[in-house]
Structure 1
Amino acid sequence: MTDNTQGTAAPERLQSGGLVRRFLARDKTPVSVLCLSALVGLAAGLVATLFEIAVHWVSAQRTSWLRDVLSSALPLWLSAFLISAALAWFGYWLVQRFAPEAAGSGIPEIEGAMDDLRPVRWWRVLPVKFIGGLGALGSGMVLGREGPSVQMGGNLGRMVSDLFRLHDHEGQHALLAAGAAGGLAAAFNAPLAGIMFVVEEMRPQFRYSLISIKCVLISAIVANIVFRCIQGQRAVITMPQYAAPDLNTLWLFLLLGMGFGIFGAVFNRLVTLAQDGFARLYRGQRWRPMVVGSLLGGCFGLLLLYLPELTGGGIALIPSATRGDYSTHLLLLLFIGRVVTTLLCFGSGAPGGIFAPMLALGTLFGTAFGVLAQQLFPALALEPGMFAIAGMGALFAATVRAPITGILLVIEMTNNYQLILPLIITTLGATLLAQVLGGKPIYSQLLHRKMRQEKIGQSPRQTVVNT
């Protein structure tokens, strides 16, 4: 009896060992590149998490200086203006003096590098983006830290490949993409969205291969683990957990998505117009962005005192909007106001992103739509917060043209997995209508704009309004 058992177990062990050997023989991925991708994820997660902590620290210090130091010597409004103006000036000065490619979100720069169209000068971009971003975001301007996290993550990927002298071009590309995924995964505490952002939104530049997919997965996982070790495992946005809506209400989510499809196409066009307007204002002179940026920063310092809802990235605004703290009219006014402030800040070339401001815009309009739907159809038992969550994904999908990323991003940020069906319907309607209306995804649009500027003879250092 024992001999028969051992006789059958031996062939099973040999067979399983043969399967492992055959798998390893077929898998041509260098183990060293996978190890480097884990290192990239570790660095991207650490930098993105520290960037978030530093932004909150600068904002708190600004309030402390205003309350304890300057307010005793100067009027409160003047102190607020001067502090924010100084912070913004510092951010613009760093960009204009040392790394013009660090202006804006930086995501188009990474896409251009993945397509071998843009150089990656990580030794100057990393410090300028980190410290300059602290100045711009700390001043209260309507900017997000997620785009900078993606750019810094991509630069860390190139830094690792340079430091370890990785000469394989495919491996370099994979680490660049892995860094971008890790940066977004840590910025939003959303590993699936970080992976899908690279695979879906960067699909024209991303080179699909076994090694690149593995590197992106490993980096996003490691970066998110780093974030959760430091900041905890809670969702980025604290919101109620909604049950799945009734099937007879899904047409309202499609209608909302179509509305965002129209607005998304218009918004992308407005971003280009804003950047063109600031370019004409700057006239290629380096001092002009610093003057204009400091004035903008000072104005947002005043808004922080009297109308804080129009300042900052907007993530903190999302829970209060969905709780019903604002009337429908005020939601629409805040929506219009934040559209204007977003265009002013992002169009000016400040070192900050547009991710978070877009999510806030989606929340404001989605909540207003939900309140109106609740009033018009009281028998449907609608919750406005469900439309706020759907609006976040819809505007992201309409502007970035990455619906799957938008769905995953919103679900992971709010922990509302029951709303996946309405989110799919809303983002699908937004994406399809935005595509019908024409135009490119916002980051591709910004990259093509910059390449077109340089083709007509404008050098990178003269390009003061960067993507």
Structure 2
Amino acid sequence: MFEKAAARLQFLAYRFLLVTLIGAGALTGVVAVLFHRYVELARNQLIGRALRQPEPWRVILMIVTPAIMFALLAALIRRFAPRAVGANLARVRMAYNDNPRILGPRTIITTFAATPLSLGAGAPLGPEGPIVVVASGISVTLARLLRLPQKVVRGMIPIGTAAGIAAIFNTPITGVVFALEEIIGTSQRGILGGVLVGSVAAAVVERVLLGGRPMLVAPSSTWTDVREMAGFAVLGIAAGAASGLAISLAHRLKRKWSAAMPSIVLRAALAGLLIGAAGLLAPEIFGIGYDSVSLWLHGGGSASGTGIAFAVKLLAFTVAISGGVIGGTFAPSLFIGSALGAAIGHGTQDLFPSMHIDPKAYAIVGMGSYFAGVMRSPIAAVLIVVELTRDYELIVPLMLGVSLAVAISRRISRLSIVEQQMVDEGWIEEHAANDPLARVRVRQAMTTNVVTISRDTTIEEIARLIAGTRFTFYPIAGDDGTLAGIASRSAIDNAVAEHGGESIMTIAEEPKVVACAEDLITETVQQMHLRGVDRCPVVESARAPRIVGFLSPSDILRMRMRSGTAEPDPFELIE
């Protein structure tokens, strides 16, 4: 009797959970449709209106509109929901790995309200990252309102991710695979079932409300000459190089902007001015840009026109990501990749007219290759192109381009754009959290009682000063305490006999790595490994490079021994 009652309760619990998953997916589909409409309205009223104005107002408004709107949105977000700025997918991953409360109501509302205004003002980004945040947040909130167990609340995050991708792109399979590749990291049985249910529910709602039309319609494309595989390989390499450089440049630019301009409002305004100016060269870079992508997928455009669009969009995308402009990375990846592919396709066609090159085939392969290079989700990259275009003829060259793009991009930037954003925002992946040094800052491990020498001191004076000390390198300070170089103990000992009266700067070296006190120690160690050194000076910040310490192997070892390891938290939605 008792066993029958327990079985009955378990059956009712599973049925209740299934209804919850379907409800979350369906609600996500409705929200995605509303989001689409909101973006279209905002674009028509903001950057669209600017583009319709006569000269010179057209030029003025194209530059001013993004700057003003981006600054206002940055101020709004800083005031009401600081976590809603920047790295959308990074927030979702952190919520799943660490704290689902990151996706709170304030974040959901602000993201939904602000992103269409940002895209409507000309942000060269996309809607999918913010929709994933909103969808995951809605799913988590629904689970909390129903007082479901904490493990179910956490499991609703990848379910919301899959439903969001499925709804915004009408690609249910890609939604499932992307959630597995980007959020879960492994196809756990329980979560996979929920992800499938949520993705299907969202896609069904989207199909009912919008008719289920593919977002990017492409005519059938094919390839017949085996020599074309060389062209597709070149395209994959180019896409990998472009995506890796975009990730690296965005990271470096963000750090420099943050140091030189601490105000997110000013950074967003400057980004808006630069994006507006870039739009004067290629207005199609404003917003999502699917009209242009569709044109290229139909074989339209020219080598020069698509080449300019590729370069300008890549630059604008990098500036937007660096400046904290709100938006996603999917749509610009598809735009940049298809523009690059169309440029190479049209260029190859002009050079080799006898080969009957089909430029639209290159646009399709380029779209998937660049996406894979940026996101490092190769299976999702292949599937999203197939589901968006419903063209299966280019699977082989697409897989070639994707694999080469991922390999080349990884050589240039070790992290994907989402992982790099997590590092930039100070968030660490779960697998990194198990490393005792993952959350340690350089200031926590460095030696502070370093012997600092003045740049005006002679080598002989330095030799007397460091007698009896144990350090291998000594930082050299300028008059204001800023780092002017380093001098090795061996160089000082070798020079003191013949050049003792000369300034220490005659044997000074430029340090190969300089760490900031707030840098993550794991990042600094990786940089030292790449540059072939095992220690480096530490400064207060890039903006204020005053010497505050030195980091050596013994400091790192000491910190590792002091730090404890965290046990992983295994999770399964349905046991």
TM-score (norm 1): 0.83
Deviations 1:156-192 (A, max 9, x none): 12111111111241x2222111001111111111111
Q: Aligned equivalents of 1:246 and 1:279: distance in 2? A: 50
Q: Aligned equivalents of 1:32 and 1:281: distance in 2? A: 53
Q: Secondary structure at the match of 1:34?
A: helix
Q: Structure 1 residues 30, 135: CA separation in 2 closer, same or farther (over 3 Å shift)?
A: same
- How far did residue 274 of structure 1 move? 2.4
Aligned to 1:278: 257
**Amino acid paired to 2:178:** F
Aligned to 2:522: none
Structure 2's unaligned 5+ residue stretches are 1-7, 429-438, 444-517, 519-575
Aligned to 1:340: 315
**Amino acid paired to 2:323:** S
**Amino acid paired to 2:320:** C
Higher-RCO chain (CA-CA 8 Å, sequence separation at least 6):
1
Q: Which of 197, 212, 225 is matched with 1:233 structurally?
A: 212
Q: Structure 1 residues 448, 29: CA separation in 2 closer, same or farther (over 3 Å shift)?
A: farther
Q: Aligned equivalents of 2:271 and 2:358: distance in 1? A: 37
| 1:122 paired to 2:104 | yes
Aligned to 1:393: 368
- How do 1:223-372 residues align onto structure 2 when only pairs under 5 Å count? 223-283=202-262, 288-297=263-272, 300=275, 307-323=282-298, 325-372=300-347
Q: Which of 55, 59, 78 is matched with 2:39 structurally?
A: 55
Aligned to 2:198: 219
- How far did residue 275 of structure 1 move? 1.8
Q: Aligned equivalents of 2:421 and 2:172: distance in 1? A: 25
Deviations 1:107-148 (A, max 9, x none): 011111111156424210111001111221111121111111
Q: Structure 1 residues 90, 45: CA separation in 2 closer, same or farther (over 3 Å shift)?
A: farther
- How far did residue 342 of structure 1 move? 0.7
Q: Structure 1 residues 380, 441: CA separation in 2 closer, same or farther (over 3 Å shift)?
A: same
Q: Aligned equivalents of 2:411 and 2:278: distance in 1? A: 38
- How far did residue 220 of structure 1 move? 0.8
Aligned to 1:34: 18
Q: Aligned equivalents of 1:434 and 1:450: distance in 2? A: 21
Q: Secondary structure at the match of 1:451?
A: coil
- How far did residue 393 of structure 1 move? 0.5
User: Which structure has the bigger radius of gyration?
Assistant: 2
% identical aligned pairs: 25
Structure 1's unaligned 5+ residue stretches are 1-23, 459-467
Q: Which moved more, 1:447-456 or 1:418-427?
A: 447-456
Aligned to 2:392: 417
Deviations 1:248-287 (A, max 9, x none): 432322232122222222221112112212312332xxxx
**Amino acid paired to 1:214:** G
Q: Structure 1 residues 203, 430: CA separation in 2 closer, same or farther (over 3 Å shift)?
A: farther
- How far did residue 35 of structure 1 move? 1.9
Deviations 1:383-429 (A, max 9, x none): 01101100010011112111110011011112212222221121122
Q: Structure 1 residues 112, 247: CA separation in 2 closer, same or farther (over 3 Å shift)?
A: same
Q: Structure 1 residues 296, 358: CA separation in 2 closer, same or farther (over 3 Å shift)?
A: same
Aligned to 1:90: 72
Aligned to 1:17: none
Q: Aligned equivalents of 1:256 and 1:270: distance in 2? A: 21
| 1:189 paired to 2:170 | yes
Larger strand fraction of residues: 2
Q: Which moved more, 1:302-311 or 1:113-122?
A: 302-311
Q: Secondary structure at the match of 1:37?
A: helix
Q: Structure 1 residues 26, 200: CA separation in 2 closer, same or farther (over 3 Å shift)?
A: farther
**Amino acid paired to 2:403:** L
Q: Which moved more, 1:448-457 or 1:230-239?
A: 448-457
Instruction: Check the 8 A contact 1:109/1:118 in 2, yes or no.
Output: no
Larger helix fraction of residues: 1
Q: Structure 1 residues 266, 86: CA separation in 2 closer, same or farther (over 3 Å shift)?
A: closer
Give the length in aligned residue pairs: 427
**Amino acid paired to 2:374:** T
Instruction: Check the 8 A contact 2:223/2:358 in 1, yes or no.
Output: no
Q: Secondary structure at the match of 1:428?
A: helix
- How far did residue 84 of structure 1 move? 4.1
Instruction: Check the 8 A contact 1:91/1:131 in 2, yes or no.
Output: no
Deviations 1:49-73 (A, max 9, x none): 21111010111123686599x989x
Instruction: Check the 8 A contact 1:139/1:300 in 2, yes or no.
Output: no
Instruction: Check the 8 A contact 2:297/2:338 in 1, yes or no.
Output: yes
Q: Structure 1 residues 230, 329: CA separation in 2 closer, same or farther (over 3 Å shift)?
A: same
Q: Structure 1 residues 443, 420: CA separation in 2 closer, same or farther (over 3 Å shift)?
A: same
- How do 1:73-88 residues align onto structure 2 when only pairs under 5 Å count? 75-79=57-61, 81=63, 83-88=65-70
| 1:136 paired to 2:131 | no
Q: Aligned equivalents of 2:34 and 2:394: distance in 1? A: 31
- How do 1:109-188 residues align onto structure 2 when only pairs under 5 Å count? 109-116=91-98, 119-169=101-151, 171-188=152-169
Q: Aligned equivalents of 2:335 and 2:398: distance in 1? A: 16
Q: Aligned equivalents of 2:330 and 2:45: distance in 1? A: 24
Q: Which of 404, 409, 417 is matched with 1:442 structurally?
A: 417
Instruction: Check the 8 A contact 1:398/1:434 in 2, yes or no.
Output: yes
Q: Structure 1 residues 426, 35: CA separation in 2 closer, same or farther (over 3 Å shift)?
A: same
**Amino acid paired to 1:187:** I
Q: Structure 1 residues 392, 307: CA separation in 2 closer, same or farther (over 3 Å shift)?
A: closer
TM-score (norm 2): 0.68
Q: Aligned equivalents of 2:337 and 2:59: distance in 1? A: 31
- How far did residue 247 of structure 1 move? 4.1
Instruction: Check the 8 A contact 1:105/1:148 in 2, yes or no.
Output: no
Instruction: Check the 8 A contact 1:45/1:186 in 2, yes or no.
Output: yes
Q: Aligned equivalents of 1:400 and 1:234: distance in 2? A: 25
Q: Aligned equivalents of 1:377 and 1:267: distance in 2? A: 30
RMSD of equivalent CA atoms: 3.0
